[in-house]
Amino acid sequence: MNMRFAFLLPMALLLAGCPSTPSGPEQPDAPIETRVPTVNAGSVDGRDLPNELRDPKNLLSQRSVYFDYNSFEVKREYQELVSAHARFLVANRQLRILVQGHTDERGSREYNLALGQKRADAVRRVLTVLGVQEEQIEAVSLGEEKPKNEGHDDLAWAENRRGDILYRGEY
Protein backbone atom coordinates (compact mmCIF):
# COMPACT_ATOMS: atom_id res chain seq x y z
CA MET A 1 0.00 0.00 0.00
CA ASN A 2 1.32 3.39 -0.89
CA MET A 3 1.51 5.37 2.33
CA ARG A 4 1.99 8.71 0.63
CA PHE A 5 -1.28 8.48 -1.30
CA ALA A 6 -3.19 7.21 1.66
CA PHE A 7 -2.02 10.23 3.57
CA LEU A 8 -2.59 12.87 0.91
CA LEU A 9 -6.11 11.89 0.03
CA PRO A 10 -7.71 12.58 3.38
CA MET A 11 -5.71 15.79 3.66
CA ALA A 12 -7.13 17.00 0.37
CA LEU A 13 -10.64 16.25 1.56
CA LEU A 14 -9.93 18.03 4.79
CA LEU A 15 -8.76 21.16 2.99
CA ALA A 16 -11.70 21.09 0.60
CA GLY A 17 -14.02 20.97 3.56
CA CYS A 18 -12.67 24.17 5.09
CA PRO A 19 -14.95 27.14 4.55
CA SER A 20 -13.15 30.06 2.94
CA THR A 21 -14.85 32.61 5.14
CA PRO A 22 -14.83 31.91 8.85
CA SER A 23 -18.08 33.80 9.32
CA GLY A 24 -19.96 31.57 6.88
CA PRO A 25 -22.79 29.36 8.04
CA GLU A 26 -21.75 26.23 9.79
CA GLN A 27 -22.23 23.07 7.76
CA PRO A 28 -23.68 20.41 9.94
CA ASP A 29 -22.69 16.85 9.14
CA ALA A 30 -20.30 17.87 6.39
CA PRO A 31 -18.68 14.61 5.29
CA ILE A 32 -15.15 15.59 6.17
CA GLU A 33 -12.67 12.77 6.30
CA THR A 34 -10.10 13.72 8.90
CA ARG A 35 -8.62 10.36 9.62
CA VAL A 36 -5.05 9.65 8.69
CA PRO A 37 -3.45 6.26 8.80
CA THR A 38 -1.54 5.54 11.95
CA VAL A 39 1.99 4.42 11.27
CA ASN A 40 3.87 2.78 14.08
CA ALA A 41 7.10 4.63 14.55
CA GLY A 42 10.00 2.30 14.19
CA SER A 43 8.26 0.10 11.67
CA VAL A 44 10.03 -0.05 8.36
CA ASP A 45 8.41 -1.02 5.08
CA GLY A 46 11.43 -2.89 3.86
CA ARG A 47 11.11 -1.74 0.27
CA ASP A 48 14.71 -2.63 -0.46
CA LEU A 49 14.23 -6.25 0.51
CA PRO A 50 14.26 -8.98 -2.14
CA ASN A 51 10.88 -9.47 -3.79
CA GLU A 52 10.52 -13.03 -2.52
CA LEU A 53 10.17 -11.73 1.03
CA ARG A 54 7.39 -9.32 0.14
CA ASP A 55 5.37 -11.32 -2.36
CA PRO A 56 2.29 -12.53 -0.45
CA LYS A 57 2.15 -15.61 -2.71
CA ASN A 58 5.63 -16.61 -1.60
CA LEU A 59 6.00 -18.67 1.56
CA LEU A 60 8.89 -16.37 2.53
CA SER A 61 6.42 -13.56 3.15
CA GLN A 62 5.18 -15.54 6.14
CA ARG A 63 7.30 -14.75 9.15
CA SER A 64 5.52 -16.01 12.25
CA VAL A 65 5.93 -19.38 13.91
CA TYR A 66 3.31 -20.10 16.58
CA PHE A 67 3.93 -22.18 19.68
CA ASP A 68 1.72 -24.22 21.97
CA TYR A 69 1.23 -23.18 25.59
CA ASN A 70 4.37 -23.81 27.62
CA SER A 71 6.05 -25.23 24.52
CA PHE A 72 9.28 -24.21 22.89
CA GLU A 73 9.41 -26.56 19.94
CA VAL A 74 8.85 -25.53 16.36
CA LYS A 75 5.72 -27.45 15.40
CA ARG A 76 5.67 -29.69 12.34
CA GLU A 77 3.28 -27.36 10.54
CA TYR A 78 5.92 -24.61 10.58
CA GLN A 79 8.82 -26.76 9.40
CA GLU A 80 8.16 -25.89 5.77
CA LEU A 81 8.10 -22.17 6.50
CA VAL A 82 11.31 -22.26 8.52
CA SER A 83 12.98 -24.47 5.88
CA ALA A 84 12.06 -21.98 3.16
CA HIS A 85 13.75 -19.20 5.12
CA ALA A 86 16.74 -21.43 5.78
CA ARG A 87 17.17 -22.17 2.05
CA PHE A 88 16.84 -18.49 1.25
CA LEU A 89 19.42 -17.49 3.86
CA VAL A 90 21.83 -20.21 2.74
CA ALA A 91 21.51 -18.98 -0.84
CA ASN A 92 21.96 -15.37 0.27
CA ARG A 93 24.75 -15.38 2.83
CA GLN A 94 24.80 -11.58 2.97
CA LEU A 95 21.31 -11.48 4.50
CA ARG A 96 20.85 -11.06 8.24
CA ILE A 97 17.77 -11.81 10.32
CA LEU A 98 16.45 -11.01 13.77
CA VAL A 99 14.30 -13.72 15.36
CA GLN A 100 12.03 -12.21 18.01
CA GLY A 101 10.46 -14.60 20.51
CA HIS A 102 7.17 -13.72 22.20
CA THR A 103 5.01 -15.04 25.02
CA ASP A 104 1.53 -14.42 26.29
CA GLU A 105 0.97 -11.93 29.09
CA ARG A 106 0.66 -14.29 32.03
CA GLY A 107 3.40 -14.22 34.65
CA SER A 108 6.55 -12.26 35.34
CA ARG A 109 7.79 -9.98 32.56
CA GLU A 110 11.41 -11.02 33.00
CA TYR A 111 10.58 -14.70 33.22
CA ASN A 112 8.49 -14.31 30.08
CA LEU A 113 11.46 -12.65 28.44
CA ALA A 114 13.42 -15.84 29.16
CA LEU A 115 10.58 -17.99 27.79
CA GLY A 116 10.43 -15.88 24.62
CA GLN A 117 14.17 -16.38 24.28
CA LYS A 118 13.62 -20.14 24.30
CA ARG A 119 11.22 -19.74 21.35
CA ALA A 120 13.62 -17.50 19.45
CA ASP A 121 16.46 -19.94 20.16
CA ALA A 122 14.29 -22.83 18.93
CA VAL A 123 13.74 -21.12 15.57
CA ARG A 124 17.41 -20.19 15.38
CA ARG A 125 18.43 -23.81 16.06
CA VAL A 126 16.27 -25.14 13.25
CA LEU A 127 17.74 -22.57 10.89
CA THR A 128 21.34 -23.37 11.80
CA VAL A 129 20.73 -27.11 11.53
CA LEU A 130 19.57 -26.39 7.98
CA GLY A 131 22.83 -24.61 7.20
CA VAL A 132 22.24 -20.96 8.07
CA GLN A 133 25.33 -19.47 9.66
CA GLU A 134 25.22 -18.22 13.25
CA GLU A 135 26.38 -14.75 12.23
CA GLN A 136 23.34 -14.40 9.98
CA ILE A 137 20.96 -14.77 12.92
CA GLU A 138 20.33 -12.86 16.10
CA ALA A 139 17.78 -14.50 18.38
CA VAL A 140 16.18 -12.12 20.90
CA SER A 141 13.09 -12.01 23.05
CA LEU A 142 10.41 -9.40 23.43
CA GLY A 143 8.66 -11.49 26.09
CA GLU A 144 5.10 -10.40 26.69
CA GLU A 145 5.80 -6.79 25.73
CA LYS A 146 4.66 -6.76 22.10
CA PRO A 147 1.48 -8.82 21.79
CA LYS A 148 0.06 -9.32 18.32
CA ASN A 149 -3.39 -9.61 19.87
CA GLU A 150 -4.14 -7.29 22.81
CA GLY A 151 -6.92 -9.50 24.13
CA HIS A 152 -6.87 -11.46 27.36
CA ASP A 153 -8.25 -14.85 26.35
CA ASP A 154 -6.97 -18.16 25.01
CA LEU A 155 -7.30 -17.00 21.41
CA ALA A 156 -5.25 -13.85 22.00
CA TRP A 157 -2.66 -15.72 24.02
CA ALA A 158 -2.23 -18.30 21.24
CA GLU A 159 -1.53 -15.51 18.74
CA ASN A 160 1.03 -14.02 21.08
CA ARG A 161 3.09 -17.18 21.64
CA ARG A 162 5.25 -16.91 18.59
CA GLY A 163 8.57 -16.32 16.97
CA ASP A 164 8.84 -13.62 14.29
CA ILE A 165 11.50 -13.55 11.59
CA LEU A 166 12.60 -10.07 10.55
CA TYR A 167 15.12 -9.41 7.79
CA ARG A 168 17.61 -6.60 8.18
CA GLY A 169 15.94 -3.58 6.70
CA GLU A 170 12.82 -4.41 8.65
CA TYR A 171 14.27 -3.78 12.09
- Are 122 and 164 in contact by the 8 Å Cβ rule? The answer is no
- φ, ψ of residue 31 in degrees (nearest 5): -75, 75
Site map 69..98 versus another protein, x via CB under 8 A: -----------------------------x
Under rule CB under 8 A, which residues in 97-136 are in contact with another protein? 98, 100, 106-111, 113-115, 117-118, 121
Site map 20..49 versus another protein, x via CB under 8 A: --------------------xxx-------
Mark the segment that binds another protein (CB under 8 A) among 24-32, 52-60, 85-93, 140-148. 140-148
- Are 113 and 141 in contact by the 8 Å Cβ rule? The answer is yes
Spacing of C-alpha 93 from chain mean position? 23
To the nearest 10 degrees (0 to 180), the angle between helices 79-91 and 109-129 is: 60
Using the minimum distance from each CB to another protein, give the nearer residue, 13 or 158: 158
Amino acid at 143: G
Residue 154 lies near another protein (rule: CB under 8 A): no
- CB burial of residue 82 (10 Å; 0-12, 13-18, 19+): buried
Q: How far is the CB of 58 from another protein (least distance, A)?
A: 24
Q: Residue 64 belongs to what H/E stretch?
A: strand 64-66
Spacing of C-alpha 112 from chain mean position? 19
Q: How far is the CB of 12 from another protein (least distance, A)?
A: 26
Q: How far is the CB of 141 from another protein (least distance, A)?
A: 5
Binding site for another protein (CB under 8 A): 40-42, 98, 100, 106-111, 113-115, 117-118, 121, 138-143, 145-146, 152, 166, 171
